[in-house]
Amino acid sequence: MKNDIRVWRKSDFSDIRSVIWNTWTVTYGAFIPEADLQSFFEEYYNVEALEKQLNNPDIVCYVGEVDGRIVAYERTFFNEEEKRQYVASLYVVPEYQNAGFGRRLMEKAGEEAKRRSLDKVWLGVMVQNHQAVEWYRKMGYHIVKEEPFTMGKTTVPHFIGFVPVESLESSSKRISKTHES
C-alpha cells in the first residue's frame, strides 16, 4: 500500500469534494442538518470556488493518497493582514483516520508557516467536534477564543487557536535538531 501527501491539482476536484462531503456527513451530521451542510458545501466547495483557490497564491492545498486514491484534503492560507498561516480545512475520510494523514498534513501547514518565518499555525474547530479538538490538543493546540460559525442556517460554537510550528515538525526533524544542539 503506497500512501503519499502532495499538492493538489485541478483533476483532483471531484475526489476532494467527495472526501469533504463524506467526512462532513459523519463528523457534523449529528449537530448540523444535512440541508445546511449541503448549502454550505455547494457555496464554498463548488468547482468554481475550488478553481479560485487553486489560482490564489496565498492558498496551498494538499491531498493524501492511498494507492492513487485521495483520502485526505487540507487547505492552508496565509492571511497577509494578520501575518498568520491558517489551516482552513483538514479532512480525512473516516476509514483512514488514525493512519497518519492528518498529522502529515499538519506538518505541511507547519512547513508553510515556517517558510514565512511564522511560529504558529492557526485554525478553527467546531466545539462539538470533540474528536478533532482532542486530536489538535495532543499536537499542542492553544484555544484563544470561541466564535460562532454558521453553515447554512445553523450556527455552532467554534474554537479559534493555534498549534506551535515546533510541535508540527516531523519526528525525524526534531531528532536531527536535538543531535545538532
Residue 170 banded pLDDT, cuts 50, 70, 90? low
Q: What is the mean pLDDT of residues 61-76?
A: 97
Number of structural domains (the chain) is: 1
**Helix 34-44 vs helix 13-27: crossing angle, to nearest 10:** 150
Domain residues for the domain of 119 are: 3-180
Q: Output 56 or 2, whichever has higher pLDDT.
A: 56
Q: What is the mean pLDDT of residues 59-65?
A: 97
Mean per-residue pLDDT over the chain, rounded? 93
Instruction: Give the CATH number, domain containing residue 89.
Output: 3.40.630.30
Percent above pLDDT 90 for the chain: 91
- Round to whole Å and give the CA distance between 112 and 85: 7
Residue 145 contacts by C-beta under 8 Å, 6 or more apart in sequence? Answer: 159, 160, 161
Residue 179 banded pLDDT, cuts 50, 70, 90? very low
pLDDT reading at 75 higher than 50? yes
